[in-house]
Copies of this chain bind each other. A is one copy, B any other.
């Protein structure tokens, strides 16, 4: 029941918001991370007349509402993914852009310890590993 997701966070149920949520859900299964532009193009492909400004607005609202996470990978534009439960970090292939996800309790623990030690109240973190994936290593 998607429309409930929107009401729960105090957002009106509108066609753009439903469509964008649906696209994020659909792509999430494949582990994809979409830029606003990506989402916009998918909408166009599916015949929806939704403006790019709306896509940005909605994604930003979704982020503020906790429905979505935004990541700043190298190279500029940020990407979004559904925030279904568990936190995870990313490892990005520098050649093909493939992204894998992982979590490491030990790293999380150390992060908290470091913040404590430096007197920071830890609120968030961003950990991204960059490398060459198996497939691209072979293609050499």
Contact = CB atoms under 8 A, between A and B. Distances in A.
B126 A127 contact: yes
A111 B132 CA distance: 14
- For the complex formed by this chain, how many copies does it contain in all? 2
A125 B123 contact: no
Contacts of A127: 125-128
A112 to B, nearest CB: 9
Interface residues of A, number: 32
Contact of A121 (B114, B119, B131): B131
Interface in A94-140: 94, 100, 102, 104, 106-107, 110-111, 114-115, 118-134, 137
Interface of A: 72, 74, 91, 93-94, 100, 102, 104, 106-107, 110-111, 114-115, 118-134, 137
